[in-house]
Amino acid sequence: MLFERHGRVGTTTRFAFLGLEEPDKRTVLDFSPGEPIDRRVRAVLLDTATGAAQIVVASITRGEIDSTVPVDPAVDGQPAVLLEELETVDEIVKADDLWRNAMARRGITDLDLVRCCPLSAGNFGLSTEHGRRVLHVLSFLQHRPEDHCWAHPIDGIVAYVDLVERRVIDLIDDEYLPVPEEEGNEDDVAYTGPPRTSLKPIEITQPEGASFSVDDDVVTWQNWTFRVGFDPREGLVLHQISFRDGDRVRPVIYRASLAEMVVPYADPSPVRFWQSYFDVGEYLLGQQVNSLQHGCDCLGEIHYFDAVLATGDGNPRDIPNAICLHEEDFGVLWKHTDIFTESAETRRQRRLVISFFVTVGNYDYGFYWYLYLDGTIQFEVKPTGTVFTSAYRPGSPYATEVAPGLGAPYHQHLFCVRLDMMIDGTPNAVDELDAVPIPIGADNPHGNAFTRSATRLATESDAARIANSSVGRTWRISNPDSTNRLDQYVAYELRPEGRPILLADPNSSTARRAAFATKHLWVTRYDPAERFPAGELINQHPGGAGLPEFVAKNRPIDGEDIVVWHSFGTVHFPRPEDWPVMPVEYCGFTLRPVGFFDRNPTLDVPAHLGHHCTPESRSTEPLEAAVSLPSDQ
Ligand SMILES: [Cu+2]
């Protein structure tokens, strides 16, 4: 309505993005109850008839447009792929005579069984790209409407589609490759065989209910408090994560989100070299969220949050059960049997899980934040779903044969989280910590010594760093104004998994566009405008935006209000076991308190919760009784 009143929404204008505008952190921290709140939205508007686009920020509270910035697609990139463009490319491609002839030469005439995929084109300086809104279309065949098409790639051919001119502008019909025949339907008992009958039910019950409480968007669990938000682009966002420590409520992270991801493929063939999907910026990850089902996606005492997203015409779209909140037993928290006293104590670890799932084309991803009793924060991504397939060329160095004649090209799943850190307040600093062996010498005659080096990352350019598991490298985020009882600066430590960063050549288009994935760590000075590690509009963007631009300012970050960006992920060399649907893979990182507390913060966790661990049930006897010495000694 607001946009219509200002004459900005015509019949062909679509919302390529519509979401709440993140307020400036400083305004939020200074906010006192009762003050008016200016709720603002950000919209990326696309005229599908002309390709003209603009980014508009408007206040709902004031009913005013605050800013309108026109988009030059050749320089700024294109608005994200619209959900409705799935249908558009299908119509355009199937109406193209050359493409229909190419299908007929492959013996494919029932075009209702051909599935056309709207794939982001990237930016390779091709004449077919410049200033146009383009999608690349690879096609897959079904044997019948319920057959999963990913088993039957129609390879060797790709159509480049101009969405504004509504036509195929280039058809690369490179080679004839046979379409793999074997079906792969994980929902078809003829393929899977009958379900096994040997699994007995596991029931997860909490007879007294869950230990968390939810008040609107505020979640409180044990000592943790945070707010839950959902963004059409980033999906789940956690705000103002803090930990109650005695009488103090201590901030840890102001805002945490998955800010970008990329899935770059390794196949250099003329039909597929461009495959690199930025699922957050190009496909608006949050828009692809699933409605979760109790008993299937989540077990136990669950609290669900719904999400409300916008359709292309600006109407609300409700997603029930978009976010799952529950607590999990996580094995032993700590345990000690004292060999000199009769003390034997065990406590159980628990974690609070806040998660959501998305489906982006062939892949599905679960994103899980975990908060633990001991102050640990963990983020875990669970890629699953179906691998992107190709016709398998025997001996290919770039793909695995996963079924007869069916290839799965090698690729990476690389993620970048934005962590607006706030350890005990805004001034924070980052040190790189490495384990350091000490050579034999005067002070170390037996060569047993080793120590740890701490290097302060003083400016943004110092802080673009690579993990190094051979020295156990971690990054410690501390507050230079806050110390624990031992006079140590309070800190959290980012523990990376340290798997490979982007494997594409540093001079490639992918490396320019996904520069965030060329380092594991980036640290920047807080700026509310710096939200996206690969820039605002990713689709067809030439590259260089986002983190490379931010750190080129080379601002000091030692004791400033800082944002930590961590890139991580997996290299996926598909296995036959990943077909036809891949068991969940895992990747992520951990943030662990290091001197944030004065001692183990879980000493008050009770031993007995519904179970009785009596001394009689312990297997260990005191030392004198357990060690029986031969009587003649
Ligand atoms: Cu994969």
363 is catalytic: yes
Across residues 38-46, what is the average pLDDT? 96
Q: How far is the CA of 240 from the centre of ligand 1 (A)?
A: 32
Average pLDDT rounded to a whole number, residues 310-323: 95
Rounded to the nearest angstrom, the distance between the alpha carbon of 382 and the centre of ligand 1 is: 10
Nearest to 136 by CA among 111, 161, 167: 161
Over residues 349-400, the pLDDT tens digits come to 999 999 999 999 999 999 999 999 999 999 999 999 999 999 999 999 999 9
8 pLDDT higher than 70: no
Cα torsion angle, 70, 72, 75, 77, sign: positive
Per-residue pLDDT, averaged over 80-104, amounts to: 95
Closest CA to 585 of 412, 355, 384: 384
Supply the pLDDT for residue 620. 47
pTM exceeding 0.75:
yes
Average pLDDT, integer, range 184-213: 95
Task: Give the span between the Cα atoms of 259 and 276, in whole angstroms.
Answer: 17
Rounded to the nearest angstrom, the distance between the alpha carbon of 615 and the centre of ligand 1 is 49
Active-site residue 24, yes or no?
no
What spacing in Å lies between the alpha carbon of 212 and ligand 1's midpoint? 35
For residues 256-275, average pLDDT: 97
| Percentage helix, strand, coil for the chain under 3-state DSSP, each rounded to 5 | 10, 45, 45
Q: Return the bridge partners of 138, or none.
A: 117
Average pLDDT over residues 579-592: 98
pLDDT of 9 above 70: no
CA of 390 relative to ligand 1 center, distance in Å: 13
Mode of pairing for the β-strands spanning 489-496 and 390-391? unpaired
Listed residue (66, 524, 82) closest to 314, CA to CA? 82
Tokens of 408: 């799965």
- pLDDT for res 623: 47
| 269 Cα: distance to centroid of ligand 1 (angstroms) | 19
Maximum CA pair distance of the chain? 102
Which of these is catalytic: 279, 374, 431, 561?
279
**pLDDT for res 2:** 56
Three-state secondary structure readout of 339-404: CCCCCEEEEEEEEEEEEEEEEECCEEEEEEEEEECCCCEEEEEEEEECCCCEECCCCCCCEEEEEC
What is residue 606's predicted lDDT score, i.e. its pLDDT?
95
Among residues 265, 363, 370, 492, which one is catalytic? 363
Return mean pLDDT, the chain: 94
State in Å: Cα 79 to ligand 1 middle.
25
Residue 436 phi, psi (nearest 5): -130, 115
Give the pLDDT of residue 130.
87
